Structures are given as structure tokens and as C-alpha cells.
Structure 1
């Protein structure tokens, strides 16, 4: 039998499931093929185990969802490309590739973070195809218009999205503004107190519930604004929402990285982001050298979990620095020691980044007698025009942490702009007041764009 030549990427069709076209990555290194699946549930039918699942067949488009059902063929331990092993459900279904239709085994996996919604493994290729990795789409090819026509039947009219705001205080300015902006654009906005949400972890029937036992589900998107004290629990909730098919504006992993100031600082240094010289040590025996390493006093001592300017101390002499550092270490509190940028004169810049674009920026001035510019600590804010270098720095910092929405704090120094930190739940009050821009509306637009929602 003559084998058909295919490229490293090809279009497949599952008429059995009503999926007219799904782009697959051809990977001879993987034994079994895989397809993107959300909301996977096992159920009994005629004494057999079946599995239902939802497929979003087009990359970066959750607006098209196809509900599929299949008899459960097997469960297997599969090692992902990241090296993590997990149990996956396996089904068998007929696939059409070019003019050939045949049965293949498919593992069901959440591939939202992958470039392709499907992976075509070597079991499907054997005795049928020869792969030319230098080519793509040797059999079928579809442009945007053709895909739109193929999936026209699956597009439903929506009056608005159902969006959850996961936070703690519904009266907080930022939270009220996001709710207002979403409702103004015709969406169904729901405030969820993160501390009153809990979850059921179950492969067959995962759930998210609200205090009182009410089951909450089917959110199109979740906007997380969890406070630092509930970071661990809030991130667990975000992962649960994501696994059940909701788009989360900032992921749990990104939020966790931004809240771990040591990890974030290490990532910035690794990716050649200019930061103030920073030190970290465990033993009091290293304190003197730690101070010397950041060019001596005056210097900044910062709690790893500090936020809104709290937990940040200026030590004006080496002796004072040594006393404060050792006091924190004596109670086993982790801190960063950072050089003090005197020439900044108590000023810094907050850049508000949304989907890799700086949408607003303001300059913050510390209150007289204070060293740190923070509105929550009595500082003032004004609109500022940032340089191209500062814009590039802000966007790169948000990208490194994989944050679609971020408040990036920059300080101007004699060495050029330096990155101070990145906030995954930036406040809106100060920057909206300083710039006159509707930042909440921009955030809702970002959700619409990601979900390809058109008003």
C-alpha cells in the first residue's frame, strides 16, 4: 500500500462527533493521539462506561464548544511533554485525514496551553502516512472564512457573557468598577467572595459551590482579584474554574509567581530585566556581606509577602540595616534586601499592562518624609508619558510572568529604568483618576477579545 505524504501540521475531521475540522500537530514521538477536552465526565450506558466531554476545536476560541460522547475504551498513565505523568481516559473514534477514514485511539486531555487542539501520534500514522517535517497541510487547508462557514451552525447568539469576579470585598472601588463596566457592556456579572467558594474534586463530576451548597458553573470567564492573604486558596479555585472550562484572565500559576517576590525577582534577572541590586540570605552570619552586596545603606528591606507598600522598610545606616535584617531572621521571616535608588526622589511609575500593551501609566510621588511612592500610604499620582524603553520593560515583565493583566512598577535611575515589582491584581482607582481612562472597560474588552465575543 502506497503511503501518503503529510506535513508536520494537518487538518483532521471527526464526523462521528460533528467536528468538521481540527488542526493537529503530527508527532511521531508520541505513541497515542490526543484531543483537547474539557468537563470530562464518566457515566454508565447499557452497562458500559461512557465518557462525555466538551471540545473547543479552534485554538484561542472558546465561543465554539462541541459536546461529545463516546464509549470509554481504556484509562492509561500518560507522560506529558513536561514530563508529568497522569491518568487519562482513552476513547476510540473514526478520524478523516485527507481521503482516508480510520479508527484511532485518542486520549482526552486539557490542551488549552498547547498550540494545537490535537496531537496525531505514530499509532495513527503507521502503515498509512510518511511525514515530511519541512511541509505543512499537504492534504486539506482551510482559511478563516472557510472555518467560519464550517462552524456557522455552532455559533449561537449571545446577549452577553457570564463573567465571575473572584475577590473578597464587593465594595472595593476596583471591584465595583469592573462589575459596572461588564454590566454596561451587556454581560452578566457575578461577584464571588473567594472565601465563600469551595470545590468538589472528582474526575467524574467536579463541582464548584458557593456557601449554602449552591452549585455554580458555566461561567464564560473569571476575573481573579484575590487578596494576598488568600493567595493559596484563591489560586486553587482559579485552577478549578480553568479545569471546568472557564477562561481565567490571570492564571493561578501567573498569580502565584507574581506573589512570590523572590521567584519573580529571580525570573526577571534570568531574563535580563534590569532590577535594583537585590540580596537574599538565610543565616544572620551573612548579614554584613548581604548589606555590602547591595552597595550598603541606605537600603530597602522588603518582606516577601509585602503589598501596597506595607512590609517595606528603609534602613538609613548599615547598623540599622543589620539590626532590622537580623530581627526579621530571628522570627524566621523571609525578606529581600535591595539597593536604595536615591535619585528617584520618592517617585516611581505604575504601568497598567493589558494583553501585552501598556494601556495607561501614572507617576506616583511619595508623601513628604516617605521614601516609597504608594497611593495607599498617602502618596499622590499624576499622568506621565513613559519612554519607549520603559514601555518595553513593562510589557516584557508582564510576559515573563504570563500575566495578561498586570500593574508593573518601574523606577527611574541613573542606570536607566529599573523594574521594582509586578502586581497581578493592580488597583484601578489611582490610575483611572490620574489618567481619566476607563481601565475597567479595557479589562472587559480583553475578555471579549480572548473569547472572540462580538457585541
Structure 2
């Protein structure tokens, strides 16, 4: 054991020469038992009868273009509980850590840390007997400049040897849209953001085309990711159908998006498939308001505009009189609306299940902000990781399949009657679920595109690798 322990701050630069990582900034956390490093595209394989793992690392925070590919023998695969409380099985490797002029071997678990503050976490098992932590200090052992990092890693170049993928949306600055572009580029794909307002079509039986502002023909994509905002549903679906007529894969399809956006029609389809929803009423005339309220069990009740999205256009009427006032006010404006029973036992919480290709890949519990009755992350709500039941998982998968969505956010509430489906979102946001779970949902969506098109990224010649 060294006589003089290193005094480290709350963050320090580490080096893993055997992995080809000369510099990666770590959060120093004596409260965490194990150390972990950011890893994605994790693949296990056999080499000389031993299990190895290949993975890729973004060593620089907020930079997904700089990529280091690593390989190491697997020493274990164990359940690790993250800071969010979620437990997952991670590969464990051993490698030599260099820090402050000292070297020793440590264990690292492989986890996607893209949504975390640091690309590495240095835990107490790696520090025992060797370090003392000064929580008020940072970078006690030195710092690297941007020029230093460029010297280590070079200037990243865009690798466009993969697919040509377009993201059809409205706002390039949204977190979800940026993450999808980044996730595609880091896997070697040529990603293009298409603002649907700038797209227009040539509708022709033999040569259909889509053009972009300025007259550019944009008909050469392999796939189009569709993220259509509610106010652009009609035109967005028309553009999506046009790409489909050109034999370009779309995720999601125009039919699925249209079905999911029509709240009344989607509920009718879901009910027909045997999916339970809160009791719902719909009427055209204010003359029917009283009976409509009785249909859903009276007050309190929920009033929803059919065109609402992201929690907007959803109201809680706590009394019968309030319900009548809200319904009649919107009917006088010729607005279409639904009324639903209020599920008190949900206590302002709901579940968001993220479904990709018929599988629930992540689930979170959303809690309403103080003073709100419905969970909504756009209105101050909070999200946390939750373990859903097999029944809830089946419900989410069945709902997405019923509407034909390959990517969907399925919202469920827990009631005394069991899980009830609230709605299905064809353009679910990624920020809440990625932040809460630490999972690379954007990467999973890109992987879905790759599988659909039968595309596999070349990892380079490794004749002694046998993939499992």
C-alpha cells in the first residue's frame, strides 16, 4: 500500500493506455462502490475460448463524434444499481488506470453514460488505500486543454459509410431531434434534418419526388425518421406517404401516425383490441352535456381536446358545474373534445413505456407538479425509473402494435381495476426517459432502422473473433 496517498478532487483526468484512451474525465465518487466507463455498441465474442467484449467510447464529454473502439476480456457480468435506482446487468473488465503519475489495475463496468455528467465514474473500490478525496477541490492532478485533447484524439471526421437517413421534423434544436442526429452519425450514417415546412412534393405515378426549399431533389434516402408535431399532422403524414410511395422506409408510417393522432379513433381501435381505457364519452352537441357527464361517472372528470398534445388541452373539472361550463364553452367554439372518468387512485402519476419494434426498452413513472392533476414533464413534472408489471408490459406492446407504431410512447395509469391506457404517442420525447434511465434510446431507434434495412456496421477485420 502506498505511504503517500493521492489527494484528488471531485473530478480528475484518467488514462487507460491498454484501451487506447489517453484522457477521460471522471467524476470521483467515494459513495459509489464500482467504477464505470461510458460504453456503447457493446458486443461479446469468443477469442481463444475466452469471452471478450468490444465496445466504443466517447471519451470527451458533449462530443459524440470522437470515438475510441476498445476490446478487453470479460471478468464478470453483474447486476449494478445506478444512481437512479435502476438495476441492470453490466459487463465488467479489468484494465490499468494511470492517474497522477501512478498506475494500478481496477475493475470497470460498461454502461452508457451519455446522459450523465461525466463519461466515467471513479468509485471507492478503485481508490481504497490509494486516494483521499477533497470534495472542495477539482482537477488536483492536472488538466488538459482542448488542444491537448485534439493532440490525443485528433479532429473527428464525419464517417458517412453507412445509411442515408433523414429526420423529418420541425425544430432541429429539440433534444430528441439532436439526439437522433447524433446517434445516427456516431454509427457512421449520413444524417440529414428535414424541416417539413420546407418540403414539397411531385405527385406522379412513375416518378414521385420530394423537393426541399431551393429546388433540391431529396429522393435518395434509405430511411426517414418521422417526428411530426401535432399541428403539422396532416402535412407531415402527406410527406410521409410520399416517401413511402418512393419505397423509402419510414419510422413511423403515415397510417400509424394518423391513427395515433386521432384520439377518438385510436381509443376505438384500442378498445376493439381488448385494451382497457378509462371510461370515455364523446358528443357533438352541448344539449348532451349532462348525460355525457353521467356516462363517465360524474364529477370529478377529465376534459380533453382532441387536438391537444404534451398535456395541453387537458382539464380537470372537480365539480359537475365546472364540467358543464368547460364542455359547453368548448362546444360553443366548435372544438371536438372527449370526457373521461377521473382515476383518483392514480394520484397524479402515470407510466411512460417506450416501445421499439414490439419491445418495451424503457419505462419511467411521471409525477405531476404541485397543483397539477396530471403528470407532464413539460409542465414541471418529474420522472423516475419504475419496474412495470408483465401485464403493463403486454398492454404497452399491444397498444403500439394495434396502432401500427414501431416507435411509440405508451402512457398507462394504475387503477383499482388494473392498468388503463391513456394514450399512445407516435413522436415520444427522449429527454425524460434518457435522463431518468441513462439508456441510449436514440441509439436503439437507429439500431431499429439498421435491422429493418439489413445493414450491419463493419467493425474491421478480426479473424479470431467468433460473435455470440
SS in structure 1 opposite 2:353? Answer: strand
Deviation at 1:207, TM superposition (A): 1.3
Aligned match of 1:186: 188
Is 1:346 aligned to 2:345, yes or no? no
- In the alignment, which residue of structure 1 is the partner of 2:324? 322
The equivalent residue for 1:293 is: 295
- Equivalent residue, structure 2, for 1:409: 411
Unmatched 5+ stretches in structure 2: 1-159, 458-468
SS in 2 for 1:198: strand
Q: Give the C-alpha shift of residue 204 in structure 1.
A: 2.8
- Map 1:134-173 onto structure 2 (within 5 A): 159-173=161-175
Shift of 1:415: 0.4
Count of paired positions: 298
Match of 2:427 among 425, 428, 433: 425
Partner of 1:451: 453
1:275 aligns with 2:277: yes
CA-CA distance at 1:159 after TM superposition = 2.4
Structure 2 length normalisation: TM-score?
A: 0.63
C-alpha separation between the residues in 2 aligned to 1:270 and 1:287?
25
Tell me the equivalent position of 1:233: 235
- Give, in whole Å, the separation in 1 of the partners of 2:208 and 2:419: 46
The aligned counterpart of 1:204 is 206
- Separation in 2, partners of 1:288, 1:373: 28
1:195-246 CA-to-partner distances (Å, cap 9, x unmatched) read: 1000111123221100011111110000000111110001000011111111
1:26-425 correspondence to structure 2 within 5 Å:
159-425=161-427
- Cα deviation digits, residues 55-89 of structure 1 (max 9, x gap): xxxxxxxxxxxxxxxxxxxxxxxxxxxxxxxxxxx
Q: Structure 1: how far apart are the matches of 2:425 and 2:395?
A: 14
- After superposition, give the CA deviation of every residue in 1:322-348 in whole Å (9 maximum; x if it has no partner): 111011111110000000000111000
CA distances 1:42-66 after superposition (whole Å, capped 9, x unpaired): xxxxxxxxxxxxxxxxxxxxxxxxx
* SS across alignment from 1:323: helix
Q: Find the residue that maps to 1:306 and give its secondary structure.
A: coil
Question: Secondary structure at the residue paired with 1:186?
Answer: coil
Q: Deviations over 1:73-124 (max 9, x none)?
A: xxxxxxxxxxxxxxxxxxxxxxxxxxxxxxxxxxxxxxxxxxxxxxxxxxxx
User: 1:216 and 1:272 mapped to 2: Cα distance?
Assistant: 41
Unaligned runs of 5+ in 1: 1-157
Distance 1:298 1:338 in 2: 9
> What SS class does the counterpart of residue 255 from structure 2 fall into?
helix
SS in 2 for 1:310: coil
Q: CA deviation at 1:167?
A: 0.3
Contact 2:161–2:190 (CA under 8 A) maintained in structure 1: no
Q: Secondary structure at the match of 1:305?
A: coil
Q: Distance in 1 between matches of 2:360 and 2:245?
A: 29
Q: What is the CA RMSD across the aligned residues, in angstroms? A: 0.8
Counterpart residue number, 2:442: 440
> Which of structure 1's runs of 4+ aligned residues deviate more than 4 A?
none
**Deviation (angstroms), 1:272:** 1.1
- CA drift of 1:361 comes to 0.3
